[in-house]
Chains A and B, each alone.
Chain A
Amino acid sequence: MSFSLFSRDMSSRDMFSDLERLRRELQQTFGGGPSIRGLARGGFPALNIGSTPQAIEIFAYAPGLDPASIEVNLERGTLTVAGERVSALPEGDEKAVVHINERFAGRFRRAVSLPDGIDPEAVSADYREGVLHVSVKRLAEAQPRRIAVQ
């Protein structure tokens, strides 16, 4: 593990992003080991994952995509989000000068290992304001059921 905070060029970075990364690195070091299918940080799109008693909610921050081109797959407990983002920079225009090129371009794929007890048939996905929201329902098994007496 390395603390990259001090080796960075601070003038081109938002200080809070650096502090935030430091905080995460510290958490990673002292907060116990990650799972074998742990999620690597970074990359495109950024992911936020949360859960409720009823469902697992995954948010992928993937702006500027055609919703129809996003591939969301659920196979053997692993959810993958894939697609392609086309560069906005002009190509073949000799007179255009690129000053900053930071936005992701190209094909992407990220995978999320889901916990047991989810219902692979009850998955919904929507894409709004550049955020893909995938909701995976948990199986009803754990919920209390009334059994009719014959």
Chain B
Amino acid sequence: MTARSMSTSSVNSQRAVNNAWWSRAWSNNAPGYLFLLPWLIGFLGLTIGPIISSFYLSFTNFDLLTPPRWIGADNYIRMFTNDPKFVASIRVTLFFVIFSVPLKLAFALGVALLLNRGMRGLPLYRALFYLPSLLGASVAIAILWRQLFAGDGLVNQVLANFGIIGPSWISNPNYSLWTLIILSIWQFGSPMIIFLAGLRQIPQDMYEAASLDGASKSRMFWKITLPLLTPVVFFNAIIQTIEAFKSFTPAFIISGGTGNPINSTLFYTLYLFQEAFGYFRMGYASALAWFLLLLVAAFTAFSFLTSKYWVHYDE
């Protein structure tokens, strides 16, 4: 009898311990998860779930009306062997990234260096240069750009004053992409602000010490400013490159959604949009999306891996 009562009491105490563990785990973790709940639902339902299902869809034929049909790797095979528009869109996007990002960063850094030398009126200049970055993504600006570089647009009117008859920049496949690159460079304001913030962080006594040692300005730039600024350069380069990969609105508006002339402004995102919402080839578009994900991931991984050779970190 005693034994029996003992065993029940030990079961009870075991249960009590379990209950205590649960209630402790609950009271320790529940508040955090409750605060996190909206994000968690969004993350699982609108990010992770869709990523997985778009991976699945990329192996199917799916037109939205009939259920997806499994076709294996056909979408990927078609992409790489039998789709000139895919090749064109890759070429356009890479060209855009390779030219717009470095030029934009060079402008941003150049102006930031100039402004950082204790210029008077810095807040005004900074605000003026920043304005295009803020407005630039708008449809209105894309419309303006289309007008500027049209055959009878502002640019050609200005050129005409110098006796130059310019082409219709936006309808000439040799120049159309460049008008978009110029639009991107025009928005150098936000990386410039980040550069300015980075330049502030460089301790002034380093320059004083260097100038005592008789270092020239250019030497100080290459030996002090630039190395200490590499983390900011790295950051800006990553952000701007990802932004450039994602660019859509200007090309869509300027080419009227076609990516023409002769696919010269067929950005990857634009081509994906056409496949998905123009032709309703959702399976193929999912494959395109997954390739973009891999491209961006590979780029990011590559930059982080190589960064240790050129990005200067304290400690």
A and B, one complex? no
Where the two chains meet, the residues of A that have a C-beta atom closer than 8 Å to any C-beta of B are none
Where the two chains meet, the residues of B that have a C-beta atom closer than 8 Å to any C-beta of A are none
